[in-house]
Amino acid sequence: MKKFRRTIKRFFIFLFILVAFIFLNNTSLFTKDRQTEPMLLAHRGMAQTFHMEGITGDTCTAERIYEPEHPYLENTIPSMEAAFKAGADIVEFDIQPTADGQFAVFHDWTLECRTNGKGVTREHTLDELRKLDIGYGYTADDGKTYPFRGKGVGLMPSLEEVLSYFPDQSFLIHIKSDEPEEGNQLAETLSKLPKQRLRQLTVYGGDRPIKTVKEHLPELRVMSMATMKSCMLPYIAVGWTGYVPSACHNTQIHIPETYAPWMWGWSDKFIQRLENAGTHVFVVAGNGGWSEGFDTTEDVKRLPSNYSGGVWTNRIDRIAPILQES
């Protein structure tokens, strides 16, 4: 009986030490506040935003925008320039391959929603796409008025034009398909850039094209559902020790705020651990299902105190001043 009691006592002492270690190794209570402002990622530049009620993958978001508060259209050079001037550290944009072997900066698989064109985007040449009015379909009042109609002709840029126009800025490039060949094409395009320029870029999208991009350009930051899982699942298992799995090195992580508190060391220690591994951490609003961003003052209040990681926003013009003042 005495031996059994000693065994139980040792077990509880061990358990107490283990729990104390896990707590002290992952709490941010004793972490020195970093004098670093959050890194701000502007989704599609300075874009028109829209309500999310009833949204599906087939929803034409141009037909449900809020009353415009600025003159910019997503995925255009003027919108990106405005986003950087407003305080963005990184701008996200979408790419579609064209029929003549280039990449157009455009979100939609088809043209009917936003433009006066018809058909599948990638079945047109870049010159054909440039002639379209990309502001044609935007309306805030169910089609009574179209405030951007006629103002978007010639505003669809190519990937090369964006990278040339902003030679020193950072971008998150979104491949809008799961086609491996698209990854090959993008890798070939980006391989012409200097290594210093590649360090300013991150590419994300479907698992297959992202795998292909990484095989061709192993030094490039990439992100897909597969890379997220390969990092996060092992981290959830062993991150309490402070160990950062190799899959979490030199990549980018977008964590929905719903799941972020479950990450060991959230927020300060988690962010520091991954930054030391060369990885950028961004928090997105909600469960991350529909590109929700931290877009209002109320949204920002949900961020951890003294948060210093990355923030995904659809309204860089609103959020940058708030976070820069805090």
Write out pLDDT tens, residues 210-243: 999 999 999 999 999 999 999 999 999 999 999 9
More confident residue, 7 or 259: 259
183 falls within a domain: no
Q: Cβ-count burial of 149 within 10 angstroms (0-12 exposed, 13-18 middle, 19+ buried)?
A: middle
Once rounded to an integer, what is the mean pLDDT over residues 258-281?
Answer: 94
Q: What is the pTM of this model?
A: 0.93
For residue 34, pLDDT over 70 is answered with no
Q: What's residue 222's pLDDT?
A: 97
Range of the domain at 277: 224-326
192 falls within a domain: no
In terms of domains, do 54 and 171 share one?
Answer: yes
For residue 326, pLDDT over 70 is answered with no
Q: What's residue 35's pLDDT?
A: 57
Write out pLDDT tens, residues 36-56: 789 999 999 999 999 888 888
**Residue in the structure block whose two tokens are 């070939």:** 188
Write out pLDDT tens, residues 70-100: 999 999 999 999 999 999 999 999 999 999 9
Once rounded to an integer, what is the mean pLDDT over residues 194-203?
Answer: 97
Q: What's residue 17's pLDDT?
A: 72
The last residue of one of the domains, among 176, 204, 238, is: 176
In terms of domains, do 171 and 229 share one?
Answer: no
CA-based nearest residue to 158, from 77, 235, 253: 77
More confident residue, 57 or 232: 232
Q: What's residue 126's pLDDT?
A: 98
The last residue of one of the domains, among 119, 141, 176, is: 176
Write out pLDDT tens, residues 120-159: 999 999 999 999 999 999 999 999 999 999 999 999 999 9
Q: What's residue 237's pLDDT?
A: 94
161 falls within a domain: yes
245 falls within a domain: yes
CA-based nearest residue to 303, from 320, 287, 283: 283
Q: Given pLDDT bands bounded at 50, 70 and 90, which one contains residue 286?
A: confident
Q: What's residue 33's pLDDT?
A: 59
Once rounded to an integer, what is the mean pLDDT over residues 290-294?
Answer: 84
In terms of domains, do 144 and 248 share one?
Answer: no
Q: Residue 277: what residue type?
A: A
Enumerate the β-bridge partners of residue 38. Answer: none
For residue 12, pLDDT over 70 is answered with no
Say whether the peptide bond before residue 177 is cis (omega within 30 degrees of 0). Answer: no
Q: Given pLDDT bands bounded at 50, 70 and 90, which one contains residue 289?
A: confident
The last residue of one of the domains, among 120, 152, 176, is: 176
Once rounded to an integer, what is the mean pLDDT over residues 193-209?
Answer: 97
96 falls within a domain: yes
DSSP-derived pairing of the beta strands 90-97 and 103-105: antiparallel
CA distance 126 to 158: 8
Q: What's residue 24's pLDDT?
A: 67
Q: At CA 26, angle to CA 251 and CA 293, rounded to 5?
A: 50
Write out pLDDT tens, residues 167-191: 999 999 999 999 999 999 999 999 9
Q: CATH no. for residue 142?
A: 3.20.20.190
Helix 207-216 vs helix 180-190: crossing angle, to nearest 10: 30
Write out pLDDT tens, residues 92-114: 999 999 999 999 999 999 999 99
Q: What's residue 20's pLDDT?
A: 67
CA distance 168 to 29: 37
What is the total count of domains within the chain? 2
Q: What's residue 54's pLDDT?
A: 83
229 falls within a domain: yes
CA-based nearest residue to 227, from 244, 209, 202, 252: 252
What are the contacts of 21-24 at 24+ separation with CB within 8 A?
Answer: 22/240
Once rounded to an integer, what is the mean pLDDT over residues 253-264?
Answer: 93
164 falls within a domain: yes
